[in-house]
C-alpha cells in the first residue's frame, strides 16, 4: 500500500490499495494517485490515478473515505463521477470528480483520507469475496441474484438514546452512522450494523440506489426482495443460517443467504428481538414517513414484507447491480 500526502483544502490523503480474490490471479495495481481542488470555490475535487492489470481484465474501481486518519472508513463519498464503478479498463490518467461542495458543504477535518481500490470485475463468479471499508464479505448466488452473504457493517458507531419517543440518533452529516444492538459494538461485529432508512439510503429516495453499499452494489428494492422470496419458494428457513430459529422456524440455509436473527432498533431508542427476528430495509418508499422492509421470525418459516417508520434501525443486505 502506498500513501500520498498533499496539503490542500480538505487535507485529503489518497491511499492506493487493491483487493485480492482467493483464486490465483494478478491483482490490479493502482498508482500515481493525485488530486487538485478547483480554485473557483466549488470545492470540487479532481482525482487522477493510473491502473494496470496484467490479465487485462475489466475492472471495478471504488472509493472509500475516512474522517479520522484511516481508523474507520465511514465518511460518505457518494457524489462522484468519472472513472469509477464497473467496466473500467487499464490505463493512465483516469479521472474521478468528487463534489464535496454538494456532499459536505459544512464539513472540515484535517485528517480526511481517500482510498481508491481496483479489483477484477469479471474474474470468477458470484461467490468471490470482496473487501469493503476494511471488512471482508462473502457473496452468494440465489437464483438470478448475487447477494452479500453477511449483513453490512460499515460506518461509525452512534449510541441509541432511549427516550420513549420517536427520534433518530443519526443525521445527514456526511458520515455513515450505525447503531449496534444494545449499544454494544461487539454486536455490530457479530450481526452487522442497524441503520435508519435514510442513513442506509445515503439520504436518497431513489429505489435501487447504492446507498451505503459498495460500488457496484445497491440497497434492494421491494420487488427485488420479492424475487428472492420466489427463488426460495417462500421458505424463510432456507434463508436463515444454520443454528438460527427454533421448532418449525429452524434455519436450513439451503440458499446460502445466511440470515442472522439480528434484532432491531425501535424508533424510541430501545433495542428488541435479538435472536427472534431480523428485518432488512428495502430501498422502496411506502410514503414520506414509511419504507418497505423484509423480515424473518425465529419460530416459523414465513417470510414477511411490510412497511414501517424510516427512523427504525434495521439490517442492510446489498445486492449486486
pLDDT number for residue 6: 35
Rg (CA), the chain: 20
* DSSP symbol at 175: B
- How open is the CA angle 277-282-283, to the nearest 5 degrees? 155
User: d(Cα 58, Cα 301) in Å, to the nearest integer?
Assistant: 41
User: d(Cα 3, Cα 113) in Å, to the nearest integer?
Assistant: 10
Backbone φ and ψ of 145, nearest 5°: -110, 150
Question: Hey, where are the domains in the chain?
Answer: 2-122, 156-320
> What is the average pLDDT score of the chain?
87
148 and 217 Cβ atoms separated by less than 8 Å: yes
> pLDDT, tens digit, for every residue of 27-68?
789 988 888 889 998 889 898 999 998 877 678 888 887 888
Cβ neighbors of 216 (< 8 A, separation 6 or more) are 60, 62, 85, 86, 121, 320, 321
pLDDT higher than threshold 50 for residue 1: no
> pLDDT, tens digit, for every residue of 63-77?
887 888 888 777 777
More confident residue, 132 or 278: 278
Nearest residue to 63 via CA among 3, 113, 11, 127: 113
63 and 116 Cβ atoms separated by less than 8 Å: yes
Amino acid at each position: 500500500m502506498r500513501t500520498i500526502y498533499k496539503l490542500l483544502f480538505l487535507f485529503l490523503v489518497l491511499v492506493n490499495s487493491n483487493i485480492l480474490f482467493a483464486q490465483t490471479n494478478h491483482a490490479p495495481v493502482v498508482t500515481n494517485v493525485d488530486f487538485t481542488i478547483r480554485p473557483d470555490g466549488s470545492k470540487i475535487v479532481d482525482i487522477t490515478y493510473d491502473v494496470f492489470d496484467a490479465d487485462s481484465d475489466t475492472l471495478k474501481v471504488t472509493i472509500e473515505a475516512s474522517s479520522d486518519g484511516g481508523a474507520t472508513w465511514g465518511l460518505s463519498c457518494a457524489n462522484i463521477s468519472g472513472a469509477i464503478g464497473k467496466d473500467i479498463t487499464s490505463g493512465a490518467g483516469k479521472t474521478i470528480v468528487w463534489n464535496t461542495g454538494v456532499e459536505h458543504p459544512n464539513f472540515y477535518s484535517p485528517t480526511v483520507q481517500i482510498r481508491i481500490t481496483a479489483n477484477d470485475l469479471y474474474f470468477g463468479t458470484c461467490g468471490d469475496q470482496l473487501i469493503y471499508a476494511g471488512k471482508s464479505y462473502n457473496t452468494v448466488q440465489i437464483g438470478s441474484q448475487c447477494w452479500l452473504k453477511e449483513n453490512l457493517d460499515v460506518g461509525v458507531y452512534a449510541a441509541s438514546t432511549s427516550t420513549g419517543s420517536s427520534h433518530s440518533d443519526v443525521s445527514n452529516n456526511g458520515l455513515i452512522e450505525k447503531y449496534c444492538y444494545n449499544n454494544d459494538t461487539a454486536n455490530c461485529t457479530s450481526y452487522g450494523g442497524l441503520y435508519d432508512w435514510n442513513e442506509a439510503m445515503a439520504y436518497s429516495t431513489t429505489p435501487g440506489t447504492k446507498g451505503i453499499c459498495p460500488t457496484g452494489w445497491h440497497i434492494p428494492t421491494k420487488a427485488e426482495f420479492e424475487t428472492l422470496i420466489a427463488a426460495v419458494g417462500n421458505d424463510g428457513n432456507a434463508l436463515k443460517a444454520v443454528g438460527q430459529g427454533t421448532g418449525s422456524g429452524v434455519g436450513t440455509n439451503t440458499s446460502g443467504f445466511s440470515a442472522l436473527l439480528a434484532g432491531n432498533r425501535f424508533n424510541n431508542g430501545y433495542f428488541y428481538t435479538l435472536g427472534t427476528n431480523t428485518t432488512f430495509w428495502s430501498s422502496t418508499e411506502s410514503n414520506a414517513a414509511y419504507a418497505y422492509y423484509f423480515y424473518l421470525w425465529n419460530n416459523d418459516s414465513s417470510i414477511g414484507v411490510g412497511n414501517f417508520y424510516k427512523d427504525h434501525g434495521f439490517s442492510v443486505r446489498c445486492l449486486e447491480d
